[in-house]
Amino acid sequence: MTERTASVRRDTLETRIAIELNLDGTGKSHLETGIPFLDHMLDQVARHGLVDLDVRADGDLHIDAHHTVEDIGITLGQALAQALGDKKGIRRYGHAYVPLDEALSRVVIDFSGRPGLEMHADFRRSHIGDFDVDLFHEFFQGLVNHGWMTLHIDCLRGNNAHHVAETIFKAFGRALRVAAEMDPRSAGMMPSTKGSL
Ligand SMILES: [Mn+2]
C-alpha cells in the first residue's frame, strides 16, 4: 500500500501552521499549537483515530485564539485531503458514538468531496478555561471546507463543557479512523457509483 501521509505548511499574516499526518499511524502526536486545550483535543483525534499527527502553530494569540484555531482546522483539512489522495478503496463513511460520564456525542463522516457541516452542540459555559467554545465550530468549518467532507456532529447530552468537547473530538477521531480506513473487500474500487469523490 502506498503511504497515506501529508505534510502541509500554511502561512498567512495571522498564523503559521505546519502539519504532518499519517492516516495509517498508531496514534502518536506532537502538538504545539500554543493553545493547551486544543492540544488536548487534537491528542484525542490522534489517539482515537490511530493517526500520527504533528501540529505546530505560531499564531496571533495576542489578539485571541480565533485565527489560530480556524487556521489549524483549515490546514488539517488540507492534510486530510492530501493524505486520502484519490480515495480509492477507503470505507468513505464512518461514525462513532463516544460517551464521557454524563456526556454523549455522535459524529458521522462522509468523505463525499463536498464540504458540509452540521454541528449541534449546546455548551452550558462560554469558555473552557480560557478557550472560547465558539471556536469549535470555526475549527470544524475550516476542516470540512478544505477536507472536502460532510460532517455531522451531534452532542446528544452533557452538562460538563470539558466532557462535551472531549466526546466530540474523540468521536471525530473514531469516525475518522473508520471512514479513512482501507476496506479490504473493496479491491481498490472507488466507493461511489459516480466514479469519483
Ligand atoms: Mn480532558
Taken as a whole, the chain contains a residue count of 197
Of 44 and 187, more confident: 44
For residue 132, the tally of other CB atoms under 10 A from its CB is 16
CA of 3 from ligand 1 middle (Å) equals: 31
Residue 175 has pLDDT above 80, yes or no: yes
Report how far ligand 1's centroid is from the alpha carbon of 191 (Å): 35
Calculate how far, in angstroms, residue 91's C-alpha sits from the geometric centre of ligand 1: 29
Distance 196 CA to ligand 1 centre (A): 38
Query: For residue 116, what is the domain's CATH number?
Result: 3.30.230.40
Quote the ligand 1 centre to 37 CA distance (angstroms).
8
91 is a domain residue = yes
User: From the CA of 162, how far away is ligand 1's center (Å)?
Assistant: 6
Is residue 6's pLDDT more than 80?
A: yes
DSSP H or E stretch at residue 36: helix 36-49
Element (H, E) at 52: strand 52-59
Q: How many Cβ atoms sit within 10 Å of the Cβ of residue 124?
A: 10
Please check the confidence at residue 192 and state whether its pLDDT lies above 90: yes
Q: Which residue has the cell 506532537?
A: 30
The answer to the question of residue 120 being in a domain is: yes
Mean pLDDT to the nearest integer, 89-108: 98
Q: Is there a domain that residue 190 lies in?
A: no
Please tell me the distance from the alpha carbon of residue 104 to that of residue 71, in angstroms, as a whole number: 27
> pLDDT over 70 for what percent of the chain?
99
3-class DSSP state of 196: coil
- What separation in Å is there between the alpha carbon of 136 and the centre of ligand 1? 15
**Is 65 inside any structural domain?**
yes
58 found inside a domain: yes
Compute the average pLDDT of residues 91-113.
98
Question: Mean pLDDT in the chain?
Answer: 97
pLDDT (mean) for 172-178? 98
pLDDT digits (tens, 9 = 90+) for 130-152: 999 999 999 999 999 999 999 99
Strand ranges of the sheet holding 103-110, from the earlier edge strand across to the other edge? 93-100, 103-110, 150-157, 116-120
CB proximity list for 32: less than 8 A, separation 6 or greater: 39, 55, 56, 57
- State yes or no: pLDDT of 16 exceeds 80: yes
Is position 26 within any domain? yes
Question: CA–CA separation, 62 vs 90, rounded Å?
Answer: 41
pLDDT for 33: 98
Instruction: Look at strands 93-100 and 150-157 and give their pairing.
Output: unpaired
Query: Is residue 185 in a domain?
Result: no
pLDDT at residue 187 tops 90: no
Cα 197 to averaged position of ligand 1 atoms, centre (Å)? 35
Angular region, 107: left φ>0, alpha ψ -120 to 50, beta rest: beta
Confidence at residue 1, expressed as pLDDT on a 0 to 100 scale: 62
Q: How far does the centroid of ligand 1 lie from the alpha carbon of residue 49, in Å?
A: 16
What predicted TM-score, i.e. pTM, was given to this entire model? Answer: 0.97
| Structural domains in the chain (count) | 1
Residue ranges making up the domain that contains 76: 5-180
Provide the grid cell at 62.
495576542
The pLDDT of residue 2 = 80
Tens digit of pLDDT for each residue in 66-78?
Answer: 999 999 999 999 9
